[in-house]
Structure 1
Amino acid sequence: MKSTRRGWPMLAFVAVGSAAVMGVAMPTGLLAAQVSSPAKKVEKPLPDGEHPSLAVKGHLFDRQSVYAFLTTAKQAEAMADPLQRCLKYPDPPGSHWSAVAVEAYCRYRTHQVAPFEEVRSLLQRGEFDELERRLASLLQDKLNKPDMRNVLDHSFERWFARSDLELRPLLENWKHAKSQSAFAYAASGISYVAMAQQARGGQYIKDTPASNIEAMDRLIALADVDLRHAVELDSRVTPAYVAMIRAGRYSLGDAYLEKAAGAALRADPANFAIYDELMWALQPKWGGSLKQMTLLGKQAIKHAGENPVLLLLPEKELAYEADLDSDDCTKPGRWDQFSVIFDQAAVTSQLLDAGTAAARCGQLELSVVYYSEALRFYPEDDDTRVARANQLSDFDESAWALKEIGHLLLQKPHEARYVFARGYAYEGLNDYTNAEKDYLAALALDPGNQTIYAQLAGLYVNDMHDWEKAWKLDERLVELYPNEPYVWLLRAHIQQEQPRPGLKDTADYFQAHFDKSPELHQALLKMRAAQALQEGKAHAAAKATGQ
């Protein structure tokens, strides 16, 4: 069984660099209409153990269970039929996922929605009658076919929740041609909300220019006009309500959100998209509360008989309370909680968050499982697929990883991260020639990527033991990154293992520039010990030859 081979040779440091993930702090608080009383303050996650579910002792995944999970997952992913692939997929080790919830979510995620390009083409050709016919059919399916009750909302989200400037005039033409179409006005309003989100940007409110906020408010005002008109024309067109909840969260405030939520739940009390949007809107960071999220989840469950996908919503409150996307890698018991949070089925976004958090902190057993579950429900996610492929090599599945990356490279042959991932899979297969070739090709595509340099250094030192190539690479790294301690640790490692002269000079330089933390000081002590050993051997050799 293979251990992780990421990172600089001989080091336990996890990362060369980091990028902060910026959150979005919205300017208004939120209320839960028909769910609970208004929140008086922003709440923080409760201390460990206060939530009954989180007080339950969880467990980590052992390597054996992950190997068994991946074996079954690989078999499922080989199936051609998307629904059967999803249904036959294994649940996380030791979990108790509801078969009803899983089947409902599989059907929800695998139902084939017409591609956006097809809808755009109808709009461009002015075939509004045909578009109206298709949407009317989806509305009737929503009302009369239990397996299709979520497709209308899902379709509107896929087609119109996009800040596409070229789409804007097409929607205006549609509204003009079909002035009594609730579909046209709902689509237009949804698009305006997406444009408002882009105009605002992803920074905290304090870091967002006033002009961005003003642009967002103008677009939200336009969205409100269209969305109100849509539900006046036909209250059954529920995608409009979802966008109204989103607009309230972004700009229009508590009173608007409360009214929109109430109208939405009256129009369709078992609507997954509405509950899903409300659950996110009620997070404490927007001014809601954990209590409101809990009560909303309980209300949703009451309607699960009509729409079983609602069974997945209560897990959102549990994941939020556990601070799932925290950057804290050392919090006691944090990783044990994952098995509690995901003891029941969860939506794709949460599974992806769990996989990303675990990967960031080196918890590969957790990460590869939750990344796989995210791909179970959203196999089109190429970002997650390449991240998971890199981890497959650490579980003796390099051949599977190579096949996965091969499919991605057919679409984007010059994507540096794909080329790098293929190199990592080759390295896992002990094909060092092709691994080196891909690492060098990836560097040509992305010259400043230190992760690629690190893996190439590891290939030369740990696998190929090619000290000349390792030394030439280190000389290049010294030129590019003279202030990175890892570069000098690589140099010392080569000088120690080859061996090569100059270890004392490297140790002196390292001490003068980098002896600033306990970890780096320990590295320096090892360097000095290796230096003393080399000098002792040299002295003994000189003495033996009489020099």
Structure 2
Amino acid sequence: MSHIADLVPKTISAQQEAPLRALAGKHGHLFSNAEVYAFLAAAKQAEKIKDPLQRCLAYPDPPGSHWSHAAANAYCQYRMQHLMPFAELRSLIQNGQAAEVDRRFAQMLDAQSTQLNARGLLDRTFELDFDGSFDIRPTLDAWKRDSPKSAFAYAASGYAYREMAAQARGGAYMADTPASNVESMDRLLQQADTDLRHAIELNPRITPAYVAMIDAGTMSLGDAYADEASRRGLAADPANFGIYDSLLWRALPRWGGSLEAMTQLASNAQAHAKENPILTLLSTKEPAEEINLDDCDCHTAAQLAMYTVVFDQVSTAQLLLSAGHAAESSHHPELAVVYFSEALRFDPDLADERLHRIYELNNFDESQWAVDEASSMMQAAPQDEAPVKLRGYSYEALGDYKHAGQDFEKALSLNPDDESVLMELGSMYAHWSHEWDKAWDTDNRIIKAYPNESYGWYLRGEIQKNQPRAGLQETIDYFAAHFDTNPQAHKMLLQMRAALALQSRSVSQRSEMKSTTHD
């Protein structure tokens, strides 16, 4: 593939190929409970720090890892630095202050080129502000009109067009993408190319323009286009994280690249790690791809243990959250809670991952922390059902059934169709708090709302068995007639029949005792 022609050898022999495999001969380990408990105790203390940068710096690294202190600190600086929000930019443009916008962007470029703690400042601002939304287009067009010689205005416009092109294309494979989507993508990429070329003619130091061009080359504009952008971009800033990150994305096997190409690119980036320590993070990209982290169906302990090899060095928030999701789907909470926490360390705004982490905290006796986290999310989004439901689960884990019940009812008021919440509420009343009348009423709600679901009838049998309450035989007969259609349902039926047999035996024994006493 020609896009890495200047960065990777033309051919790689069998002798050369083996050393490039980052995971060859390595073995990892799963975190022990003791390691996870110690990690969470330290993480909880760090998360009490209000200042985002100091919180990130104080955070513990994963158990047993060897994260570079310089790289982790640099990534904290990179992720937590103050960025100019788009609303501020729009306000300045609307008030005829395009020159002030240009001045501020020029300061960002100078800062990221000369100050170690401001690396990526301009690149990150582009990433935050110019997301491809149609809402931002009028502001960008006004900026170009008001400041026709502004390289930053044209770079921002081109960057946004590239983002719009990605959205127009969609996320499906090309074979499954409608021709109209491809046509829209190509048209937007041509507009991006026009503005990006003009931007680097005006100022060849604007690095996010090269990032957008590399991505545009991967999408449609071709290898030669991306090659030229990568050469010019690295000439402008040889230690630029964003450019190397885009090149590694382009080198993914799914786009026609290879693991060897990724290894070579990451190695080249490390040559500039003293100038920009966050380049160290790129060394995890190829190993993560090697274990297919983004699409991992891992089940064995040996497969999951390789996560600790991949993340023995500090990595990006995106890869860390992918590791958390993969571990969670494989039912390994000890890995999931650590990697979700590390992802949140570097990107506290990951709302979905915070919800997943709340759930996992309950597995490690941190349910009060989970309650506090969910409460904070509820304040920020009072109409969102998810944190309410998770707080209910966390209260339930604490044995606070009163507040758990209140949260489950509130979650149902926000989303009456959430079957899982109603069933959890009934299960809690029946199995944990033993509030039999509430359990019975809730079970009636379940059966009424979901008459074709077996769980409501199974729960009815559990209440009749454990309270006890009359009618277990009738429940068993109904269950057998309507739900005995698979091995799992049949197992539930056998459990109910065994309970009925014990109940009948107990009644018989009591009758015999009464008869003996009377005689």
Tell me whether the two structures share a fold, i.e. TM-score over 0.5: yes
Tell me how far apart the structure 2 counterparts of residues 489 and 284 of structure 1 sit (CA, whole Å): 49
Alignment of 1:115-514 (within 5 A): 115-160=85-130, 162-326=131-295, 328-331=297-300, 333-511=302-480, 514=483
CA distance in 2, matches of 1:508, 1:223: 68
AA aligned opposite 1:159: D
User: Matched residues in 2 for 1:244 and 1:487: separation?
Assistant: 57
Q: Which letter maps to 1:312?
A: L
TM-aligned CA deviation for residue 51 of structure 1: 4.1
Answer 1 or 2: which has greater helix percent: 2
Q: Which stretch of the first structure deviates more once superposed, 320-329 or 221-230?
A: 320-329
**What one-letter code is carried by the residue in structure 2 that aligns with 1:342?**
F
Q: Which secondary structure does the structure 1 equivalent of 2:295 belong to?
A: coil
- Please state how far the C-alpha of 1:246 moved relative to its aligned partner: 1.7
Could you report, residue by residue, the CA deviation over 1:469-511 in whole angstroms, capped at 9, with x for unpaired residues? 2233223223333443444433333333233344445445545
Structure 2: state its 5+ residue gaps: none
Distance 1:204 1:516 in 2: 38
SS in 1 for 2:432: helix
Deviation, structure 1 residue 65? 1.4
Deviates more, 1:362-371 or 1:534-543: 534-543
Counterpart of 1:32? 4
Structure 1 residues 51 and 129: CA distance shift in structure 2, 3 A? same
The verdict on how the C-alpha distance between 1:38 and 1:254 changes in structure 2, with shifts beyond 3 A counting, is farther
Asked if 1:109 corresponds to 2:52, the answer is no
* Cα distance in 2 for residues equivalent to 1:199 and 1:388: 32
Range 149-158 or range 357-366, more displaced: 357-366
Q: Is 1:54–1:340's contact at 8 Å kept on the other side of the alignment? A: no
Q: CA deviation at 1:192?
A: 0.8
Deviation for aligned residue 1:351: 0.9
Does the aligned pair in 1 maintain the 2:427–2:459 contact within 8 Å? no
Match of 1:65 in 2: 35
CA RMSD between the two structures: 2.7
2:26 to 56, 81, 91: 56
Counterparts in 2 of 1:529 and 1:206: CA distance versus 1, 3 Å? farther
Distance in 1 (alpha carbons) for counterparts of 2:64 and 2:205? 41
Q: Decide whether the 8 Å contact of 2:61 with 2:342 is kept in 1.
A: yes
Unaligned 5+ runs, structure 1:
1-28, 41-45
Deviation at 1:211, TM superposition (A): 1.9
Contact 1:355 1:367 in 2 (8 A): yes
1:519-530 → structure 2 map (5 Å cutoff): 519-530=488-499
For residues 10 and 426 of structure 2, what CA distance do their matches in structure 1 show?
Answer: 57
Matched residue SS, 1:325: helix
Structure 1 letter corresponding to 2:364: F
CA distance change for structure 1 residues 397 and 483 in 2, over 3 Å: closer, same or farther?
same
> CA contact under 8 A between 1:236 and 1:267: conserved in structure 2?
yes
Q: Which structure has the larger Rg over C-alpha atoms?
A: 2
Between stretches 417-426 and 432-441, larger displacement belongs to 417-426
Cα distance 1:312–1:491, how it changes in 2: closer, same or farther (>3 A)? same
The residue type equivalent to 1:288 in the other structure is: G
Taking the aligned partners of 2:271 and 2:486, their CA distance within structure 1 comes to: 55
- 1:459 is displaced (CA, Å) by 2.0
TM-score norm. by structure 2 comes to 0.91
Q: Which moved more, 1:204-213 or 1:273-282?
A: 204-213
Q: Which amino acid aligns with 2:435?
A: D
Post-superposition offset of 1:39: 10
Shift of 1:104: 1.1
Q: 1:317 to 1:465 in 2, by over 3 A?
A: same
The number of residue pairs the alignment matches comes to 511
Q: CA 1:190 to 1:50, structure 2 compared with 1: closer, same or farther past 3 Å?
A: closer
Amino acid at match of 1:246: D
Q: Which structure ranks higher in relative contact order (CA pairs < 8 Å, sequence separation ≥ 6)?
A: 1
Cα distance in 2 between the residues matched to 1:519 and 1:342: 39
User: What is the letter of the counterpart of residue 396 of structure 1?
Assistant: D
Per the TM alignment, residue 91 of structure 1 is displaced from its structure 2 partner at its CA by 0.7
1:167-204 per-position Cα deviation (integer Å, ceiling 9, x unaligned): 11211121122222211111001111121222222333
How far is the alpha carbon of 1:349 from its aligned partner? 0.5
Q: Judging changes above 3 Å, is the alpha-carbon distance between structure 1 residues 196 and 522 closer, same or farther for their aligned structure 2 residues?
A: same
Identity over aligned pairs, percent: 49
Q: Distance in 2 between matches of 1:437 and 1:296?
A: 54
